[in-house]
């Protein structure tokens, strides 16, 4: 085994977007229209605005329609719910994504619950979470964990019987990640802030997925030689150069790189996969709405 390989999520995501583009061409030929993704952005949060812009650009690049709905931070809960209901009924729209987090006076859960589960391309609706939990293949699965699973299967092939440790138990990353790994017949442990002796829990893993949100918290010495590591974390920290900042993951990559089988870099690992899978989910949702079989290999 050659150790210390970087897993190039950026390259994998580009290939995936290429396959989605081909699937979109096929969809247009059969359905006579383009798949459509609606993104709702509330307020002026700069990070959210950047995400929404790049999602819109990527959507158009694969041949889909992108609809952006920008609303002021002062929007009421009722107005936002009304917008989501309109999108539920809009025949041009196959996928609805409400950019989170929402301003404090709005109830994320109530807004997500309003999205038609068949258009819930983020996979956050309880219907899709429930389908994932019971192994129903029609689930729309949250983009980040599905992207992580694709990278793991590309690296390792069959995951059956592998010991997987997921650090983090959020509904967006940790829990769906664990459900996906269980679906692949891994032996799954979910660690979180109350886990005791995290170092030894991590040390038994063949697969480590870190989704904590704490810069380089997972030390290289915790990771078993030959393990495969997916670093979901995105943490902004001060850079060496005065006044500048940089992005690092949840894993101390420099300490781990020499003895892991593979590790995703931050940036350029999981991040690009998230948007590619969003496009994949939109094409899958559009195909289901039109009664078409979703393209194979996505």
* CB nearer to ligand NDP: pick between 214 and 219: 214
**Angstrom distance (rounded) from CA 198 to CA 195:** 6
Active site members: 55, 99, 122
The full length of the chain comes to 298
- In angstroms, what is the minimal distance from the CB of 95 to ligand NDP? 17
* CB nearer to ligand NDP: pick between 75 and 202: 202
* CB nearer to ligand NDP: pick between 81 and 100: 100
- In angstroms, what is the minimal distance from the CB of 143 to ligand NDP? 8
- In angstroms, what is the minimal distance from the CB of 193 to ligand NDP? 3
Single out the residue of 59, 66, 144, 253 in contact with ligand NDP (rule: CB under 6 A): 144
* CB nearer to ligand NDP: pick between 218 and 261: 218
Name residues contacting ligand NDP, limited to 62-91 (CB under 6 A): none
3-state secondary structure the chain: CCCCEECCHHHHHHHHHHHHHHHHHHHHHHHCCCCEEEEEEECCCHHHHHHHHHHHHHHHHCCCEEEEEEECCCCCHHHHHHHHHHHHHCCCCCEEEECCCCCCCCCHHHHHHHCCHHHCCCCCCHHHHHHHHHCCCCCCCCHHHHHHHHHHHHHHCCCCCCEEEEECCCCCCHHHHHHHHHHCCCEEEEECCCCCCHHHHHHCCCEEEECCCCCCCECHHHCCCCCEEEECCCEEEECCCCCCEEEECCECHHHHCCCCCEECCCCCCHHHHHHHHHHHHHHHHHHHHCCCCCCCCC
Name residues contacting ligand NDP, limited to 166-195 (CB under 6 A): 167-170, 172-174, 191-195
Note whether 274 binds ligand NDP by CB under 6 A. yes
- In angstroms, what is the minimal distance from the CB of 188 to ligand NDP? 15
Query: Which positions from 196 to 235 touch ligand NDP by CB under 6 A, shown as an x/- string?
Result: --x------------xxxx-----------------xxxx
**Angstrom distance (rounded) from CA 174 to CA 218:** 15
* CB nearer to ligand NDP: pick between 75 and 148: 148
Note whether 246 binds ligand NDP by CB under 6 A. no
Instruction: Estimate to the nearest angstrom the gap between the alpha carbon of 213 and the chain centroid.
Output: 15
Query: Which positions from 36 to 65 touch ligand NDP by CB under 6 A, shown as an x/- string?
Result: ------------------------------
**Angstrom distance (rounded) from CA 91 to CA 110:** 23
* CB nearer to ligand NDP: pick between 83 and 173: 173
Note whether 270 binds ligand NDP by CB under 6 A. yes
- In angstroms, what is the minimal distance from the CB of 148 to ligand NDP? 9
Binding site for ligand NDP (CB under 6 A): 144, 167-170, 172-174, 191-195, 198, 211-214, 232-235, 270-271, 274
């Amino acid at each position: 085994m050659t150790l210390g390989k970087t897993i190039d999520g950026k390259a994998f995501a580009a290939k995936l977007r290429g396959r989605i583009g081909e699937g979109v061409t096929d969809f247009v030929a059969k359905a006579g229209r383009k798949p459509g993704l609606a993104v709702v952005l509330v307020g002026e949060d700069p990070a959210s605005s950047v995400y929404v812009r790049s999602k819109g650009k990527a959507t158009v690049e694969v041949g889909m329609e992108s609809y952006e709905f920008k609303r002021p931070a002062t929007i009421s809960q009722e107005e936002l719910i009304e917008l989501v209901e309109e999108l539920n009924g809009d025949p041009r729209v196959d996928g609805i994504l409400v950019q989170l987090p929402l301003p404090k006076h709005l109830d994320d859960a109530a807004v997500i619950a309003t999205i038609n589960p068949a258009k819930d391309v983020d996979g956050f609706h309880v219907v899709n979470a429930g389908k994932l939990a019971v192994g129903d293949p029609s689930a729309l699965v949250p983009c980040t964990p599905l992207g992580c699973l694709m990278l793991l299967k590309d690296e390792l092939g069959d995951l059956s019987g592998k010991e997987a440790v997921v650090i983090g138990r959020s509904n967006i990353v940790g829990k769906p990640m664990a459900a996906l790994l269980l679906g692949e017949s891994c032996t799954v442990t979910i660690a979180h802030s109350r886990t005791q002796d995290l170092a030894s829990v991590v040390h038994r893993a063949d697969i480590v997925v870190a989704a904590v949100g704490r810069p380089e918290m997972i030390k290289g010495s915790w990771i078993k030689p030959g393990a495969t590591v997916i670093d979901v974390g995105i943490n902004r920290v001060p850079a060496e150069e005065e006044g500048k900042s940089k992005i690092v993951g949840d894993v101390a990559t420099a300490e781990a790189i020499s003895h892991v089988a593979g590790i995703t870099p931050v940036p350029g690992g999981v991040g690009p996969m998230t948007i590619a899978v969003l496009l994949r989910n939109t094409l899958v949702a559009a195909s289901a709405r039109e009664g078409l079989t979703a393209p194979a290999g996505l």
